[in-house]
Amino acid sequence: MACPLPPSGLYIESVKESAAAIRRASGIEIGPASIHRLLHSEAFTSSFQRVSQKNGLALPLKFPSVLAELNCIAILSLLNFGSGYRVPLHQETGRGAWDNMRALVMSMYISSSGEEDYMSAKGMQSIDASTIAQLMQINIHVEKPHEQNSFITVGTLGGPLYDLTMLIKTTLNDTGRVLVQGGYPDLGSFVAEALQEGAKFKAKSPTAQANVVLERLVKAFPAFQDMSRIDEQPLYCFKKALFLLAAIHIRFSHLEPAPFDAPDINSLPVFSDNVLPSLLIHLGVLDVTSCPSVRQEINDMSKEGDLSSLLGSPSTTPSSQEDQIRSKTAPRDGVLLKKEQAYLLRAAAIDACEMIVAEARSMDFPSQLQWIKTITLPQVDLWLWAVAKDRADYRALSRFVERDTAFF
């Protein structure tokens, strides 16, 4: 049975409430002591204020208008997935999923012309897998023995990067089709209209305003309908749509005058992918030992690093970490999970971050750490996502993998 959409006007609340309910029912535990340990750790206190500012949204492109930049950010948010193909992407390009998607969107933008505008609704609707592979500069062929002569190999379409390319193609084609049918020239125009509609509810509350925009995005586009049923109970994550709301706020809210009335993002749920729950497991916040659905698969992953070392100061300097990133050493693939298992862990991460912020508000800190009491959900999200790349020992930790998903 398909998962129904949340009640109208309650999309944000439905993400938080469904994640908490699913997490508790699954047996995944989050102890206050584990949160206190993290918030007081050197790993957190020495890096949070610096690392939580890294968002990767500034693109080295010249836009003719703010609407063109909004369109670019919207497409980047739409394509913010591919984590299950992180290892083959690193092997092929030396970059992970996010950096490859950024490169793809920039290539789409730079390569667009009057006849082939990949950033338009019609261009998205018609783009094919071969063009996507060329723009990404990846090989989507695998070598196989010839049927009549085993000494000869032939290149045929296939392999993990071909699968990823087809996911990107489907995502762009389906989104472009919805836009064309609705009479929108591009995704940015749809998003701008949703922002205008949301602004009408600003006086009611920031959450009401964000709910309107989120609901319009999710209802319109299959690629934003990141939800499932777990034991007949609905679970809503909406990672990419929530990411888009945050991206709009980060890129445009500081401008005077602001070109778009972006909703406040401080109370948005985190944008749960595979990085957040994996790192929260490694840092001892998520305990899956009482969760039969994922305990066996995640057991080895949770023992990869020494917890005291992971919660301590990094052993390498930022410059040497950057050198390691440039070395293009491919990461290791983590345990491969089924769709339901991945959703369980993503739900747990959403609830854990809610609890981290709530605990931070109520805890006592010395004067130099009083800033922890003011941390927000988007900042916690960005810290977890960015610190996973910032520290060499964190980069070496495996992350669980789900293939064939265009949601994270």
Quick: pLDDT tens for 270-299. Answer: 999 999 999 999 999 999 999 999 988 898
Q: What is the CA radius of gyration of the chain?
A: 21
| pTM for the whole structure | 0.92
Q: What pairs with residue 233 in β-bridges? A: 230
Task: Round to whole Å and give the CA distance between 136 and 118.
Answer: 13
What pLDDT sits at residue 58? 81
**Strands (DSSP E) found in 78-218:** 141-145, 153-157
Largest CA distance in the chain: 76
Quick: pLDDT tens for 144-172. Answer: 676 777 667 667 888 999 999 999 999 99
At residue 323 the predicted structure's pLDDT band, cuts being 50, 70 and 90, is very low
What pLDDT sits at residue 319? 43
What pLDDT sits at residue 53? 82
Q: CA 260, 261, 265 angle in degrees (round to 5)?
A: 115
What pLDDT sits at residue 57? 84
Q: CA 244, 52, 23 angle in degrees (round to 5)?
A: 70
Task: Round to whole Å and give the CA distance between 408 and 403.
Answer: 10
What pLDDT sits at residue 119? 97
Residue 328 predicted with pLDDT over 90: no
Considering 92-96, 219-223, 259-263, the range whose residues carry the highest mean pLDDT is 219-223
Decide if 165 contacts 93 (C-beta within 8 A): no
Helix, strand, coil percentages (3-state) for the chain, rounded to 5, are 55, 5, 40
What pLDDT sits at residue 256? 86
What pLDDT sits at residue 151? 64
